[in-house]
Structure 1
Amino acid sequence: MVEPTPLRPASLHEEVATRLRSMVFERQLAPGQWIDELALARDWQISRTPLREALKVLAAEGLVTLVPRQGCKVTELSEDDAEQLFPVMALLEGRCAFEAVRRATPADVKALRRLHEVLEKHAAANNIDGYYRANHEFHTKVQALAGNRWLDRATNELRRFVRLLRGRQLNWPGRIEASINEHRVLLDAIEHRDAARAERAMHDHLLAQLAALKALRAHERSQGSERHA
């Protein structure tokens, strides 16, 4: 009998890719920022080979862009990207909510209620960072409860690009208050087992995020124009 080949731990470049991915999502590496490979290799005490392999992984995922003879920079979503991305995410996450309602157990609904209560606390404190993290956890939970591997795959693929924005729209005045109200409507639909209403609520919630992001970007452009006038 042939002895099985022992499983190997994750390779170094996979560990580096995980760390880089986290830095991108946490905006420690900001959208549009050039990645200093030499500095990272020095700080992490690794050679540039696993770092470059890791960057190729993130490039394949669309999180960074490799520029020939210049290096690598973090992907930055344009306004057109956001306009095209959010309506698709609204469809996907709306379907997640629909299927989650049909599959969720009473214990699952209670778990969502607890996550919502965390959102309420951060909203009351106007804690943008805390609200963003709790919101991501809530949406991830709804997606998991849907239990549809194909929907899961498509949603995960696009959610990483939404995470590049890291909830920027929450900086728009009144957005946290509007967002928590949208979540209340969504949770009420889930608790009443109204799958169609939950789907609409989630869909509209994503489009409201887009509207707030557009308003914020328009305001930033106008402020920039005034400073250079």
Structure 2
Amino acid sequence: MSESEKAGAPEREDAQAEQIRRVLGEDIMMGRLKPGDFLSELKIADRFNVSRTPVREAIRILAGDGLVTLRPRQRALVRGLTASEILDQFEVMAELEAACARLAARRHTPAQLTRMEQAQEECRRLASLPDPEPYYRTNVDLHEAIYEAAGNAYLRTETLRLRDRLRFLRISQGRLPGRLLNSADEHDQVIAAIGARDELGAAAAMRDHLIVQGESLRLMLRHTDASGMVHVTELDD
């Protein structure tokens, strides 16, 4: 291995760990991996065609997210989250995003507002599609434009961390009938308040937007066992 390849190895393993974390996290929340299932490092490494190093890191992060239980000298166990834990995280997300919107209303530049408006135009166009994935990708662009306009690096980092943890749940609730069109309407209110430099209005509109998502998610949570652990119900079952 060349010196440049050695230097790039940690960065590559970090990217691999992040990919594995995302996929396994979605598997857990969608019920493909159930509470009590063992996580085999070897099988996971084979599945993703990677070494065990990024697998161990991904499992460690999942444990920090509350989705996995680590046990000394034994395989990790899938834990999952309770409905209460999931909805608690959505409440926190609503407050973080509200803070971003409030600061964006105070600090945004004309160029940043234009970026938000352009992303919202694309969200509006995609809201009528049956697949929520394209809408979600553009929705991410819109929200990240708001995070950037807030001008607070720490707030942006923490918001992104929790947003990424809830990614698959936010996509799933987008499959509810009419949800994407309603989401686009809610975006209009957020951007209008930001553009008017109405800090309180922007925070309230964004908070309401996230609270609606959390309420939609309540309809998609199903108990998997007596412990109260849940997974997201597939709408086309």
Could you say whether these structures have the same fold, taking a TM-score greater than 0.5 normalized by the shorter chain as the test? Answer: yes
Residue in 2 that maps onto 1:97: 101
Show the 5 A alignment for 1:140-159: 140-159=144-163
Q: 2:76 aligns with which of 68, 71, 74?
A: 71
1:135 pairs with 132, 139, 146, which one? 139
| Letter aligned with residue 23 of structure 2 | M
SS in 1 for 2:7: coil
- Once residues 106 and 141 of structure 2 are traced to their aligned partners in structure 1, the CA distance between those partners, rounded to angstroms, is 20
Counting only pairs closer than 5 Å after superposition, residues 1-229 of structure 1 correspond to structure 2 as 8-11=7-10, 13-24=13-24, 27=26, 29-31=27-29, 32=31, 33=33, 35-48=39-52, 50-59=53-62, 61-62=64-65, 64-68=67-71, 69-73=74-78, 76-217=80-221
Cα deviations by residue, 1:156-189 (Å, 9 ceiling, x for unpaired): 3322332241422112222122211111111211
Structure 1 vs Structure 2 CA RMSD? 2.8
User: What's the counterpart of residue 226 of structure 2?
Assistant: none
CA distance in 1 between counterparts of 2:162 and 2:202 reads 21
State whether residues 24 and 164 of structure 1, in contact with CA within 8 Å, keep that contact through their aligned partners in structure 2: no
Q: In structure 2, list runs of 5 or more residues that go unmatched.
A: 1-5, 223-229
Q: Distance in 2 between matches of 1:64 and 1:83?
A: 15
Indicate how the Cα distance of structure 1 residues 59 and 23 shifts in structure 2: closer, same or farther if over 3 A, else same. closer
Percent of aligned positions with the same letter in both sequences?
29
CA displacement, residues 80-120 of structure 1 (integer Å, 9 cap, x when unaligned): 01221222211111110010111111111111111001100
Distance change (3 Å), C-alpha of 1:77 and 1:166: farther
SS at match of 2:68: strand
Say which SS state the counterpart of residue 177 (structure 2) adopts. coil
Please state which structure has a larger fraction of its residues in strand. 2
User: Which runs of 5 or more structure 1 residues have no equivalent in the other structure?
Assistant: 1-6, 225-229
CA distance in 1, matches of 2:68, 2:204: 35
Partner Cα separation in structure 1 for residue 171 and residue 81 of structure 2: 13
- Kept in 1: contact 2:105–2:198 (CA 8 A): yes
Task: State the TM-score, normalized to the length of structure 2.
Answer: 0.76
CA contact (8 A) 2:101 2:206 kept: yes
Contact kept? 1:118, 1:134, Cα under 8 Å: yes
Q: Report the alpha carbon displacement of residue 65 of structure 1 after superposing the two structures with TM.
A: 1.1
**Contact residue 107 and residue 149 of structure 2 kept, 8 A:** yes
Q: Which amino acid aligns with 1:86?
A: F
User: Are residues 24 and 141 of structure 1, via their aligned partners in 2, closer, same or farther at CA, if it must alter by over 3 Å?
Assistant: farther
